[in-house]
Structure 1
Amino acid sequence: MQHSRPVGRRQLLMTGGALGLAAAAAPLLTAPAQATSRQPCTRITDLGPGIEQFALMSALQVGDTVYIGSRNLEPTRVLAFHLPTRKVVSQTVLGTGHSIQALAVDPTGRYLYAGILAKGDEGRPNLFRWDLTTPENPAVGIGRTEDRDIRDLAVAPDGTVYAVGGIPGKAPALWMYDPGTGKVTKLGVPDPKATLARAVAATDTTVFFGAGSTLAGGDGASKASLYAYDRAAGTFGNVTPPEMEKDPSLRDLVVLGDRLVVSTSGSTEPAKLAVMDLADLSSYSVTTTSGKVVKNLTANGDTVHFATDTGLYSYSTATKVISPVGFDGDLGEIWGLDHVGGTLTVVSGYGFVGEIDLATGRSVVTDLGQAGAPVVPQTTMGIAADHRYVYVGGNNGIARHDLRNGTVLNLRAPGEAKDAEVLNGVLYTGQYSSQGMWTYDPTKGGQPHQLAAFPSEQNRPLDVCYDAVNELLLVGVQSDTEGGGSLWTYAPGTGKKAAYINPVDGNQLVRAVATRDGVAYLGGDNPTTQGPRGTLVAFDPVAGRELWRIDLPAALTTGTAALAVRGRHLYGLTRKGGFFVVDLTVRRVIHTADHRAVCPGFAAMVTSRGVVYGVSDTTLFRFDPRTFAVSTVVAGINGAWYSGPHVTADHRGRLYTMRGHNLVRVEDRPVSGS
C-alpha cells in the first residue's frame, strides 16, 4: 500500500523517456548506516485483536456430528458440532501448524484423522488421530510426511490411511500411514512436474492421486493430473481424462460405489466434473461447470452434490445435467458438504453450519460462535485506515475497527482481503482468490460486494495503492496457476478497469506497486528457479505501456518485497532484507544496504509525514530521508501475519500495523531533520 502526493498529469508526460533504460552500476551492499543518536517520540496504542472469529478450513460429518478443522488460529484445533442439539460438544487441540485442511474417518467411524498445514513446525507431527469414542482425550500425533502440508486424506476399506499435499520446491508424493505398524511411508512421486497435490481417494486395490499446479504454476509445471496407484504392484499409471488436462489442478476425488468422481480447479477455463467407471477408467463422462473450482463432492444415489465459488449444485449421473441447489442467503466459501437422509450439511467459511432439506428447500443456519466454538484472534492479511475506521483482513472476513468508540464489526467477504485502500471513506480490497476487487461503504451499511472482476487466472492480488494523478487504484497481482502476474487498474469515478498481463515478464509477478507523478512503479518477484527476479518497471497505467526498467544489482536479485516513494526517490526492500534507493530523475540505484537484521523476509512500506516506514515480521522501522539510514521504531513487534506483513497510515500520518495478534496505532515523531 503506497500513498503519493498528487501531481499534474502534465508532469507524467515529461517523465516518459526511452524504453528499457538500464541502470548504471550500483554501489555494493553495505552494512546499514546509523541514524542520529537523539531519541524520537513514539507512542503505541493497543487497539485490541485485529480480527476475532472461528475461522475454518475443513469439515466432515460422521454420524450426527460434524467435525470442523480450524484455519489460521493458534493453536490448531478440531471441534465437534452436534447436529441434533446444534451445539459444539467437544474439541481437541492439535497445537502444531496453522490450519487443518484435511479430515478423514476410518471405516468403523471410530478414528478421525487430521492433516495440518505445518509451516514453521518442521520436525513435528503433521498427521493426527482422534479417537471419537473418547472425545475427552486429545488427538495424538501419529507421524509426519516430508511434504510439510497435508492437503487431503483418504482411508481405504482396510483402514490404511493415504495423504497428499506438498512443500515449496518439491514435487508432491503419495504417503501411507499403516495403523498396524504406526509407520508413515513414502510411496513415490507420480508427477515430477507437479507443485501440489490436493486430492486422494482409495479403494481395496487402488489409490487415486490428484495433483497439478494450483500454486507455483508456470515455468513448465504440470497441469491437472490424475494417477492410479496399484496397491499390490506399487506402481502408478496416468489416468487423467484429456478434457481436464488444461485445468491447473485436480481439486477433489471421491469413490461412490463403482464410480470415481473427479473435479478440477479452473483457471483460463471453467472447472470440470468427471464420473469414471472404476472397472474401466477409460470409460467416463466429463461436464464443464460454470465455476472456477469444484470441490466437496458428496452423493445421494445417482446425484452428486458439490460446491463451487458461486454456490451449491447437484449433478445427475443419469441425465448429466447440473442444477443449482437453492439456499436463501450467502454460503460464502464452502469447506464442508455432506449428505445424510435427504439433508445437505454445509459448513461455510463465514463460520456457520447450514442444514438444507432437499425435499422442502428449507434451511437452518447455526453460527458456530454462538454454538460454542472458540472466537479467538486470527492471523491477518491486509490493513487499511482513514480518520474513522481501520480495516483488518482475515479469512472470509474483514474486521472494521471504529476509532471513535472502539467497537469492532466483522464484515463478510469471501476469500482473503490481501491488501486494501480507503478513498473518501470507501474501502477497496484486492480479494484472493480470483475474486477481483471488492468494496464497502460504511455510510450505506450492508456487506462488502464485488466491484470489479479480472481474469480469473490472475488470482492473487498482493499490493493496492492509489494513483491520485490518474485517479486510479493500482493492484499488483500474482498468477498462481500460470506464472507471472499483472497490474490491475480501476477508476472509482468511472468504473473503467484494465488488466495488463505480465508487465515485467512471463515469470515475474508484480509483488509491489508504488506511484509518483502518474507513473506506476512495479516490483517484480519470481517464485520459480528460472529467469530474472527483482526487476523494476516504470509503467504508464493509462496507456498500458512500459516507460523504462531497471535490473537491480546482483546482490539485490532476491525478489521485490515492497516499494515506496518519497519525493524523487523510490525505496525498495527485497525478500531477504536487501535495501535500495532509486533516483527516479536519473533512473539509477544510488544507495544499497543490507537490512536483514530488521527485515529477514517479506516486508511492507508506507510513506507518512515525509518519512518512509517499513515493517517486517519482526520490526517496525523508518528510513532517514537524507542518509537513508534505518532506525528501529518498534522492536519485537512480531505481527501475527498470514501472508506477509502490512503497514498503513491514516490522514494524520498515524501508522497501523500488528503487534502479535493485536492491531496497534503507532504515532511516531522522528527527531528534527531525520
Structure 2
Amino acid sequence: MQYSRPVDRRRLLMAGGALGITAAAVPLLTAQAQAQAQAPTVSGGPSCTRVTDLGPGIEQFALMSALRIGDTVYIGSRNLEPTRVLAFHLPTRKVVAQTVLGVGHSIQALAADSTGRYLYAGILTKGDEGKPNLFRWDLTTPDEPAVGVGRTEDRDIRDLAVAPDGTVYAVGGFPGKAPALWRYDPATGKVIKLGVPDPKATLARAVAATDTTVFFGAGSVLSGGEGASRASLYAYDRAAGTFADVTPPEMEEDPSLRDLLVAGDRLVVSTSGSTEPAKLAVMDLADLSSYVVTTTTGKVVKNLTADGDTVCFATDTGLYSYATGTGVTTPIAFDGDLGEVWGLDAVDGTLTVVSGYGFVGELDPATGRAVVTDLGEAGAPVTPQTTMGIAADHRYAYVGGNNGIARHDLRTGKVVNLRAPGEAKDAHVLDGVLYTGQYSSQGMWTYDPLKGGQPHQLADFPAEQNRPLDVCYDPVNELLLVGVQSDTEGGGSLWTYAPGTGRKAAHINPVDANQLVRAVATRDGVAYLGGDNPTAQGPRGTIVAFDPVAGRELWRLDLPGSLTTGTAALAVHGRHLYGLTRKGGFFVVDLTIRRVVHTADHRAVCPGFAAMVTSRGVVYGVSDTTLFRFHPKTFAVSIVIPEINGAWYSGPHVNADHRGRLYTMRGHHLVRVDDRPVF
C-alpha cells in the first residue's frame, strides 16, 4: 500500500569549511611505486558545504516474523529501533498490545508454549555482547514487558521451538562459527549448548521439537562454497543427548533446510533452493526413513502450517497447499501481491497471512477472497527504518528498505512508499528511471515515475547469484553494471543490462571461485571489479579490469600487503581508480600503467564497509561514521561531515544527482550535501 506524508521540517546547515585529518601513507608499495606515489599529509583546503535534511529515509512498520495464537497474531519487527513485538487482534483488526525488547535489530523467531501463555522471541543482534537474545512475554499480562531470559552464544536466533513440556530450543548462527542447538529450561532459567551436529554448516534456520526428539535444520545459506555443507537435518535424542543425520538424500543438493513443522504424526521439512527449486518433504515421525519429497516451483519454501491433512506454505511465487494423502500441490489464489510472506497460519479453514509489505490478510483458500488490513492503519508504529541503496536525479531521491522503496519528491517534500519485494541493495537513476539490484534472487527491478504504478522486475539472473551489491552505469557501452555475491555457492558475478535493447548477461566468478564482486566502477567502457571473500580461506581484494561486452578479463591486479582485506568500494576519476578496503585501507591505481601509486590507512574515518562516488571531479566516500572526500591531485583525505553515523542495514551508500549534489544518510534521515571544495 502506498502512503504519503509531508516533510514536517527541513533543516539546512551551513558549514564554512571541512575539517581535515592526516592521511599518512603506509609502507605497502614497492620502491618503484613509492617513488611515483604522492602521499602528502594535508587536507584538501577550504570549502563551502550545505547540508539539507530531507527527513526520515524510509518510514514503515517492517516485520520479519509472525505467529497466530488464538484470535491474535503476534508480529516481530525488522530493522527498526527499538525492536518490538505487536499483538494484532483479528476480530477487531487492531493492534491491541506491544512489547519493546530494545535489543538487536530484528526478530525472526517466535514460538509459543502449548498452553498459549508464553510467547518466546529470538533476536538478530548487532553484537550486543552480554545482553539477552531470548525473550519471554507473558500473554496473560500483555501490559507487562517481555523479559530477557537468556542468551545463546550463536548471537543470532533464527528459529525457536517449544516442546510439549515447555522446554525451549533455539538455533541460529554467528559469522565464522558452525551453529549449535541450544536449550532453555524455564525451570532452571539456564541456556545450555547441546552440541554442533554439522561442523561445516554456516547457519541453522529451522528447529522443531516433540516429547522425545528435537529436529535441527541447517546449511549454508550465508557464506556458502569453500567446503561449506549443504542442507542437513539432524534428530537430537532428548534422553540420550545424541544427534543422528536424517537428511533425505533428495534434499542434500539444496543449500539449506529452511523450515520444520511437527504436524500430528508427521514431520514436514522444507528447503531453500539455489541451482535447483526448493523442496518439501513429509516424514513419518515413527520411521524417519519413510518419507515423500516434492519439488516445488519456488526458490524457497517456508511458513509451514497444517490444516488437517493439508500442509500450506509460502514460496517466492505465492501460496500453495499440499495434500499429504494424494501428494498433490495446488496454488492458493490471492487477488493481489503478497510480497515476502513472514507469517502463515491455518485455523478452521482460514489462512492468516502476514506480508512484509506491512499487512495482515485473512484468506479463504476455497474462494480466494481476503480481507487485508494495513498494520500502520491498525495502530502499528510507523517509524524510520535502517536503509540500503540510495539513488537520485533532479526530481526524486530513492531510499531502499525492506519490501519497500521510499520516493522523496525533491520539489514538494512529499514521500511515497513504493512496494518492491526483498531489499533494494543499490540503485541508479538513468534518464529519470530507477533501476535497482534486488535481494534475494530478485534480479534487477525498475520504476518509471512518469508511468506510475509500482516497481516491477526488469530482468532475472541465475537464482544462486542472489545478492546484488553495487550498481553503476557504463555510458560508453550503455550498460548497467551490477556486482553480485552468491551466498550459497561462493564467489559472485557481474550482471550487465542494456536499457535500450533489454539485452542481459551474467558473468559468473569473473574474479575467481571464492571472491564475490563487492564493487564496480567504469571508465572508457571497461568495468573495474573489486573482489571480496567472506570465507576464511583464499584470496581477497583482487582488482579485475573486465570487458563487459565481450565478457572477458583484460587484466588483474593483486593488491599489496594489508590491502588484501577485501574490497569495500571503488570509484574512478580521470586515469585513477580509487579503492577502499573493508578495514580502511586506501589505494589509488594509475590505470595507464596498471600500478598502485598511492596507499594510506584511513581506519580513523572508514573502519569497515564503505561506498564511493565521483562528483564534480572529486571522489567522495562514506563509511558508517563519516562522509569524506579525496584531493584529486594529492589524494589527501578531508572530512566533509564528521559523525554522520548513517542508520544503514547492509553497509553505507552515497550517490549523486545530475548537479553533483550528494545523497546519503545522517542517522535515520536522508540528507543532501552540496559540497564545493576549493583546491
Q: Fold conserved (TM > 0.5)?
A: yes
Match of 1:471 in 2: 478
One-letter amino acid matched to 1:245 = E
Match of 1:618 in 2: 625
* Match runs of 1:596-611 below 5 Å: 596-611=603-618
Query: 1:252–1:263: 8 Å Cα contact kept in structure 2?
Result: yes
- The question of 1:53 aligning with 2:29 is answered no
Cα distance in 1 between the residues matched to 2:391 and 2:660: 13
Does 2:69 match 1:65? no
1:425 to 412, 428, 432: 432
Deviations 1:594-642 (A, max 9, x none): 0000000000000000000000000000000010000000000000000
2:108 is aligned to 101
Go from structure 1 to structure 2 and tell me whether the alpha carbon gap of 1:314 and 1:564 turns closer, same or farther (over 3 Å shift).
same
| CA–CA separation in structure 1 for the residues paired with 2:511 and 2:667 | 35
Question: 485, 507, 511: which one pairs with 1:500?
Answer: 507
Q: Distance in 1 between matches of 2:644 and 2:37?
A: 25
- 1:118-154 deviation digits (Å, cap 9, x = unpaired): 1131211000000000000000000000000000000
- C-alpha RMSD of matched pairs (Å): 1.4
Q: Distance in 1 between matches of 2:130 and 2:523?
A: 46
Instruction: Read off the aligned partner of 1:193 and give its amino acid letter.
Output: K
CA shift digits 1:479-511 (9 cap, x unpaired):
000000000000000000000000000000000
2:604 partner letter: A
Aligned to 2:675: 668
Q: Do structure 1's residue 524 and structure 2's residue 539 form an aligned pair?
A: no
**1:386 corresponds to which letter in structure 2?**
D
Letter of the 2:85 partner, please give it.
Answer: V
**Shift of residue 352, structure 1, vs aligned partner:** 0.1
Aligned residues: 651
SS at match of 2:562: helix
Structure 2 SS opposite 1:555? helix
Residues 197 and 28 of structure 1: is their aligned pair in 2 closer, same or farther, counting only changes over 3 Å?
Answer: farther
CA contact (8 A) 1:252 1:294 kept: yes
Contact 1:412 1:447 in 2 (8 A): yes
Tell me what 1:44 maps to: 51
Q: 2:584 aligns with which of 533, 558, 577?
A: 577
Taking the aligned partners of 2:175 and 2:357, their CA distance within structure 1 comes to 28
- Equivalent position of 1:144 in the other structure: 151
Residue 241 of structure 1 corresponds to 248
2:235 to 217, 221, 228: 228
Question: Within 5 A, what are the aligned runs for 1:82-121?
Answer: 82-121=89-128
CA distance in 1, matches of 2:385, 2:302: 25
Whether the 8 Å CA contact 1:24–1:588 is kept in 2: the answer is no
* Cα drift, residue 36 of structure 1: 4.5
**Structure 1 counterpart of 2:376:** 369
Amino acid at match of 1:640: A
CA contact (8 A) 2:443 2:461 kept: yes
Q: Could you say which residue in structure 2 is the equivalent of 1:17?
A: none
Identify the residue that residue 645 of structure 1 maps to in structure 2: 652
Structure 2 regions of 5+ residues with no counterpart?
1-28
2:204 match: secondary structure? strand
2:338 pairs with one of 331, 336, 346: 331
Q: 2: distance between equivalents of 1:36 and 1:502?
A: 38
The answer to whether structure 1 residue 348 and structure 2 residue 355 are counterparts is yes
Measure, in 2, the Cα distance between the counterparts of 1:387 and 1:38.
29
- Closer/same/farther in 2, CA of residues 539 and 231 from structure 1, 3 Å limit: same
Q: Which residue of 1 aligns with 2:454?
A: 447
Q: Provide Cα deviations, 1:508-547, integer angstroms capped at 9, x if missing partner.
A: 0000000000000000001111111000000000000000
Q: Return the match for 1:657 from 653, 659, 664.
A: 664
* Aligned residues of 2:465 and 2:486 also touching (Cα < 8 A): yes
Q: Which SS does the other structure have where 2:166 is aligned? A: coil
CA distance in 1, matches of 2:360, 2:265: 30
- Counterpart position of 2:18: none
Q: Are residues 36 and 559 of structure 1, via their aligned partners in 2, closer, same or farther at CA, if it must alter by over 3 Å?
A: closer
Aligned partner (choices 151, 160, 167) of residue 167 of structure 2: 160
> Structure 2: how far apart are the matches of 1:358 and 1:71?
28
Contact conserved, 1:28 with 1:592, CA < 8 A, in 2?
no
1:375 to 1:25, Cα distance in 2 relative to 1, 3 A:
farther
Residue correspondence of structure 1 range 134-533 to structure 2 within 5 A: 134-533=141-540
- 1:23 touches 1:551 (CA, 8 Å); kept in 2? no
Shift of 1:361: 2.5
Match of 2:132 among 125, 128, 139: 125
Letter in structure 2 aligned against 1:122: E
- Name the CA shift for 1:578/1:358 in 2 (closer, same or farther; >3 Å): same
Aligned partners of 1:348 and 1:169: how far apart in 2? 31
Residues 31 and 593 of structure 1, relative CA distance in 2, 3 Å threshold: farther
CA deviation digits over 1:219-246, x for unaligned, max 9? 1000000000000000000000000000
Specify the SS of the correspondent of 2:250.
Answer: helix
Cα pair 1:164 1:173 within 8 Å, conserved: yes
Q: Deviations for 1:400-428, whole angstroms, at most 9, x for unmatched residues?
A: 00000000000000000000000000000
Pairwise mapping of residues 550-589 of structure 1 onto structure 2 (< 5 A)?
550-589=557-596
| Per-residue deviation, 1:359 | 3.2
**Alignment CA distance shift 1:31-1:152 (3 Å):** farther
- What letter is aligned with 2:136? R
Report the Cα offset of residue 357 of structure 1.
Answer: 1.4
Cα contact 1:349–1:395 (8 A) shared by 2 = yes
Q: Which has the higher contact order (CA 8 A, sep 6+)?
A: 1
1:207-262 CA distance string (max 9 Å, x none): 00000000000010000000000000000000000000000000000000000000
Contact 1:24 1:589 in 2 (8 A): no
Shift of 1:29: 14
Range that drifts further, 33-42 or 333-342: 33-42
Contact kept? 2:37, 2:598, Cα under 8 Å: no
User: SS at 2:387's partner residue?
Assistant: coil
**Matched residues in 2 for 1:375 and 1:362: separation?**
27
The amino acid across from 2:533 in the alignment is: N
35-44 vs 624-633, which moves further: 35-44
Higher mean Cα deviation, 233-242 or 120-129?
A: 120-129
Structure 2 residue corresponding to 1:76, chosen from 76, 83, 87: 83
| Contact 2:38 2:634 (C-alpha < 8 Å) held by counterparts | no
Does structure 1 conserve the Cα–Cα contact (< 8 Å) formed by 2:335 and 2:368?
A: no
Distance 1:215 1:37, change over 3 A: closer
**Closer, same or farther: CA 38–537 of 1 in aligned 2, 3 Å:** closer
CA distance in 1, matches of 2:622, 2:428: 17
SS in 2 for 1:406: coil
The 2-side partners of 1:463 and 1:599 are apart by: 18
| Counterpart-to-counterpart distance in 1, 2:508 and 2:44 | 47
Equivalent AA in structure 1 for residue 628 of structure 2: F
Q: TM-score, normalising length from structure 2?
A: 0.95
Q: How far 1:27 moved relative to its partner?
A: 4.2
Post-superposition shift, 1:33? 4.2
Residue type of the partner of 1:625? Answer: P
Secondary structure of 1:599's partner?
A: coil
- Structure 1 stretches lacking a partner, 5+ long: 1-21
Q: Which amino acid aligns with 2:164?
A: P
Check the 8 A contact 1:23/1:552 in 2, yes or no: no
Instruction: Return the alpha-carbon distance in structure 2 between the equivalents of residues 359 and 151 of structure 1.
Output: 32
